[in-house]
Chains A and B, each alone.
Chain A
Amino acid sequence: MKIKAVMFDIFKILLGIVMVSPLILALLVSFMPKSDIMASPLEITLANATFQNYIEGFQYLNLGTYLKNSFVMLIIILPCQLITALAAAYGFSHFNFPGKNVLFAVLLSVMMIPGEVIQITLFKMIVKWRLIDTYAGLTLPSLVGVSAVFLFRQYMQTVPKELREAALIDGCGDIKYFIQILTPLCKTMIVTFSLRAFVNIYNSYMWPYLVTTKDALRTVQTGVAQISMNNHGGITLAAATITSIIPLVVYFFGMDQIVEGMTAGAVKS
């Protein structure tokens, strides 16, 4: 019985290794010198392992710039999405006002418009506004996110009404209540959303690809793709490895949070 269980575990791990084998391959190749990669027939060997590919990626190619641009994108988009979504969720969950249902329906219908469908029209708008190759062009269409509004609103509705009444009686204003009491209560939701948004923005390709033409504005994914066009496999996979480490670390430490967030969006309560 015990041997059977061990065999089963080994089988499961072997299957897992097959699953991640493309990543292992990328890691191995990233340490191979050009001469080994150009060899025919190509063989995976670490006989002449070197850090050369990583050094070249940062020294002669703009890997550092790509990373910087992705982080600028993140630093602009993430706080904007968080603040606007939290505020809107607060407005919808804690207040009654004329036109509330209409405005809510408007936001709900935005959820039905997939970003991919309007991508080319957004691109034309950005061209017309002369925002190609600018951070504004990269970030503007993503500054507000409707799905985050629904995520936060759903959570805020579960916060007991008595809490707000008590705070208001104690002389706490609506805005103070929002910033000092309600927002800290949403901490888990905020972390979950931020982790997922972080990886989504960092891993995005199509929009950055459309609105950037200069190397100085390329983000991580478009940059790595560009490197892969003009360089040998060693440098390409070194770039792919080093840029994948960041989302890997985010997922490694935030796995439980992210899974929780995934199911929060998937399962209706």
Chain B
Amino acid sequence: MKKKQKVKLLPYFLILPTVIGSVIFSFYPFFKTILSSFSVTDQYGSWQGWAGTTFWKMMFADKAFWQTLGTTMKFAVVIFIGTFFFAMLFALLSTKKTKMGKVSQMLYALPIAVAHATSSVIFRFAIKNGGLLNTWTGTDTAWLADENIAFWIVAIVTIWTHISGSYLYLLAGFRGVPEDIQEAAVVDGASGFTRAVKIMIPMASSQIFFVLFLNILSALKAFTQIRLLTSGGPNGSTTTFMWDIYQRAIDYGEYEYACCLAIVVFVIIFAVTRIQFAFEKKFVHYQ
């Protein structure tokens, strides 16, 4: 009798730590974020009273909010197109296993180990005033202070940091295409380009969709490179949601407003993930 009871309790003990941890550090803060967006809070984020939809109305009426939304969307689109283009190019170039191919493969994959903070620091050295870019172009342009250029610099640094990871996913997908199918296409006289478009890309659709959405999502979550390269400036031209949330919550003491923004980000990410699942169901080719 006693033994039976022990067996019954064991699974609860096994999953208890994970459940408790998730409730305290995921669920609770998530619901507190929602609650706080409708409340007034003190400096510790503790509840002080209801605010109704005050902060939500304030956010939607705020011109800066719409600018941030636009910048974040533009950023996500640029990151995913740029990263996808280069990762795809490198992956298609390394599909065929050759002796020397190992070397180029290693070079394409190497930057995956580089953190966003590290790549930002490296690029900033080249881009800053009196840096290499000035020497090479023979100008004294302050690149990061230029509203039109700063956004693209942040985008390039982000794309560079993302390429290797996406490349490895795509490569794994292409390597998964059965060799007899590839050989059959070669025998049938299909050119390299035709093989890529008609065979490799459809057969690796699962990885391709994954990489596309991975890049959109990580662009939506970008923080480090913005903090280290531009701090959201000049004139808010590189202020995306994560930077806006951080600044309002920590620098400006507008935690409630920041919570509204955080919920908006959650809704966008949630929607993107839903679309990802729907796409996977509909278009992905499983063998």
Report chain A residues within 8 Å CB of B131. 42
B274-287: contact bitstring with A at CB < 8 Å (1 yes, 0 no)?
A: 00000010000010
**A19 engages B107 (CB within 8 Å):** yes
Report chain A residues within 8 Å CB of B171: 259
How many chain B residues sit at the interface, stated as a range, is 35 or more
Whether a CB of chain B sits under 8 angstroms from the CB of A224 is yes
Cβ 8 A contact of A244, one of B43, B113, B228, B262: B113
Q: CA A222 – CA B259 in complex, angstroms?
A: 25
- Chain A, interface residues (CB within 8 Å), range: 35 or more
Q: Is the CB of A110 within 8 A of B26?
A: yes
Q: State which of B64-72, B77-85, B122-130, B141-149 sits at the interface with chain A.
A: B122-130
**A210 B122 Cβ-Cβ under 8 A:** no
A106 to nearest B CB, angstroms?
7
Selected from B7, B26, B36, the residue in CB contact (under 8 A) with A113 is: B26
Q: Which residues of A contact B210 (CB under 8 A)?
A: 266
Residues A123-147 near B (CB distance < 8 A): 123-125, 127-128, 140-141, 143-144, 146
Contact of B134 among A41, A106, A123, A125 (CB under 8 A): A41
A-B contact count (CB 8 A): 259
Residues facing A in B236-281 (CB within 8 A) are 242, 245-246, 249-250, 255, 258-259, 262-263, 265-266, 269-270, 273, 280
CA distance A146 to B23 in the complex (A): 11
A205 interfacial contact with B, CB 8 Å: yes
Q: Does A203 contact B (CB under 8 A)?
A: yes
User: Is B109 interfacial (CB-CB < 8 Å)?
Assistant: yes
A103-B19, A123-B249, A240-B122 known; A90-B110 Cβ under 8 A: no
- Once A127-B44, A262-B169 are accepted as A-B contacts, the answer to whether A120 and B266 lie under 8 Å apart by CB is no
Of chain B, the residue at the smallest CB distance from A229 is: B228
Q: Find out whether the CB atom of B22 lies under 8 angstroms from the CB atom of A144.
A: yes
Q: Which listed residue (B45, B111, B217, B227) contacts A20, Cβ 8 A? A: B111
Mostly helix, strand, loop or mixed at chain A's interface? helix
A-B contact pairs, 29 of them (CB 8 A): A15-B90, A17-B107, A19-B110, A22-B119, A41-B134, A41-B135, A43-B135, A84-B18, A88-B18, A90-B14, A107-B18, A113-B26, A114-B266, A120-B259, A121-B29, A124-B45, A125-B45, A143-B25, A144-B22, A174-B7, A221-B115, A222-B117, A225-B120, A228-B228, A237-B122, A244-B114, A248-B110, A251-B109, A255-B109
Binding site for A on B (CB under 8 A): 7-8, 10-12, 14-15, 17-23, 25-27, 29-30, 32-33, 36, 43-46, 90, 93-94, 98, 100-101, 103-104, 106-126, 130-132, 134-135, 160, 163-165, 168-169, 171-173, 206-207, 210, 217, 221, 223-224, 227-228, 242, 245-246, 249-250, 255, 258-259, 262-263, 265-266, 269-270, 273, 280, 286
* 6 extra A-B contacts, CB within 8 A, seeds A116-B265, A221-B115, A240-B122: A17-B107, A19-B107, A42-B135, A113-B30, A117-B262, A221-B117
